A and B are shown apart, each in its own frame.
Chain A
Amino acid sequence: MEHAKHIVRAVLILVVVATTFVFVRSLATPRSFGMYGAYRFDSVAEYAAAEPVHGAPGACAECHEEQTKALSGGKHASVSCEVCHAPLAGHVTNGEQVGPMPVRRSFSLCANCHHRLTARPKDFPQVVLAEHLATSGSTLSEGVCLECHKAHDPGI
């Protein structure tokens, strides 16, 4: 064991390096890292903590019974209120009214779903706007669709 001191030194240096590495690593690694995999578990909770902007189904019906009734009985029953209006959060937050809910009457809103496109399913109600207006004798204006069709219960 002539060279014992060299071995002791090398081992000593190795131990110091290893412990320093473990120490620095423990400081640099977030607390919840590695709980369920190679990621920070707290991030999951951060995502879950965000507040929904769109309301739960039936949230509108709590106040707007009449409109909900008209909607649920008609062809637009499958259309969520917020599709044509706006997300609930801009109107009601925590049960308090925080702003007005937009009411859009533009024909372009209707056209989004109902102007004729080849790619649309054939059995979906769709019109070429110019032709449709010609048959009904109307002229193109902002709220032209609503002259004949009720938005909540379009009656077609």
Chain B
Amino acid sequence: MTQASSSHSLPSRCTRREFIERGACALGAGVAVLVIGPAAVGSGSTATQPTATAPGAYDWTKHKYVYVIDTRKCIGCGACVRACTRENDVPPHYFRTWVERYQVSRTGDVNVESPNGAMDGFEPEVTGDDVTKAFFFPKLCCHCTNTPCVQLCPVGASYRTLDGVVLVDQKRCIGCGYCVQGCPYGTRFIHPVTHTASKCTLCYHRLTRGLTTACVQACPVGARMLGDTKKVGDRVAEIIATERVQVLQPELLTEPNCYYLGFSREAR
């Protein structure tokens, strides 16, 4: 015992304990400097960073976007789909918005089709005379308030902006596809080139410049409308407030911000 203790207390060396203690102190101090340093710098830049997110004076706290589609006006021309594809460089056979044609027979049979997303419009129907009700039904991301897709994202790539637009961080997305499966409206897809989730951005680059979305601008009959509930006297917000509007699958409690006029029960 005495031998052992004497061998451990050589004057020229520190003990194992001392070594660990000193080492830990030094490591802790070093780490503290490294952590606190960048954090302090980071918080400084946070304070100076304005809420504007675009060239000009766009303030995302002063907007809250809503979308209204009047299905009674839609003529199924597909101008919106073509405009969206060109505006956002959407790959072929993938769609950020598309138009469906519902054909309902007297017996209650429902036939839904969207040939190439209605990119080239629709051909005359060949289903015969038993169709008693037919209508076009444009679809896009509903930019839900209670988003299943954002909740599902395991890496914090999906998010909802303060002005009510659901977006995907293209640098952060790992392309797992959970959100594609989680969206009850089928509005997301995995981009075939980037292999990340892609979806309607509500033309965020246009909104921040004071323009409307490409699809709304392209609609020749005014079936698609973009509103801003934070704007006083907004025409579209007024429609939602005063008219009989419906959302897709309200039972899911996703609180979509895409409202439909002339909704029919067949629409899913």
Question: In the complex, what residues of A have CB within 8 A of residue B101's CB?
Answer: 117, 119
Nearest chain B residue, comparing its CB with the CB of A50: B205
**Number of B residues with CB within 8 Å of any CB on chain A:** 70
B94 at the A interface (CB under 8 A):
no
A38 and B221 form a contact (CB under 8 A): no
CB-based nearest A residue for B209:
A52
A19 and B124 contact, CB distance less than 8 A? no
Q: Looking at the complex, which of A61-69, A80-88, A136-144 is the stretch in contact with chain B?
A: A80-88
Chain B positions 157-203 with a Cβ under 8 Å from a chain A Cβ: 157-162, 167, 169-172, 201, 203
A87 to chain B, nearest CB (A): 5
Is the beta-carbon distance between A118 and B125 smaller than 8 angstroms?
Answer: yes
Determine whether the beta carbon of A31 is less than 8 Å from that of B42.
yes
Chain A 14-49 residues near chain B, CB threshold 8 A? 15-16, 19-20, 22-23, 26, 30-33, 35-41, 43-49
Contact of B86 among A19, A53, A112 (CB under 8 A): A53
Total A-B residue contacts, Cβ distance less than 8 Å:
160
Given known contacts A54-B87, A113-B75, A118-B103, is B220 in contact with A19 (CB within 8 Å)? no
- Residues B28 and A15 in contact, CB atoms below 8 Å apart: yes
- Known interface pairs A39-B169, A119-B102, A119-B103. Does A19 touch B204 (Cβ–Cβ under 8 Å)? no
B227 at the interface (CB under 8 A from A): no
A116: nearest chain-B partner, CB-CB = B124
Neighbouring A residues of B38 by C-beta, 8 Å: 26
Is chain A's interface secondary structure helix, strand, loop, or mixed overall?
loop
Cβ contacts under 8 Å, B75 to chain A? 113, 117, 120-121, 124
Is B136 part of the binding interface, using a Cβ–Cβ cutoff of 8 Å?
Answer: yes
Residue of A nearest to B208 (CB): A48
Residue in B34, B53, B134 whose Cβ sees the most chain A Cβ within 10 Å: B53
Q: Verify if A79 is at the interface (C-beta below 8 Å from B).
A: yes
Q: How far is the CB of B69 from chain A (nearest CB, A)?
A: 14
- Tell me which residues across on chain B come within 8 A of A39, comparing CB atoms: 156-159, 169, 172
> Chain A nearest CB: distance from B225 CB in Å?
13
Q: List 17 A-B contacts (CB under 8 A).
A: A23-B34, A31-B45, A37-B160, A38-B159, A44-B60, A44-B204, A46-B171, A48-B58, A48-B204, A48-B208, A49-B205, A53-B86, A54-B214, A56-B211, A78-B220, A87-B83, A112-B78
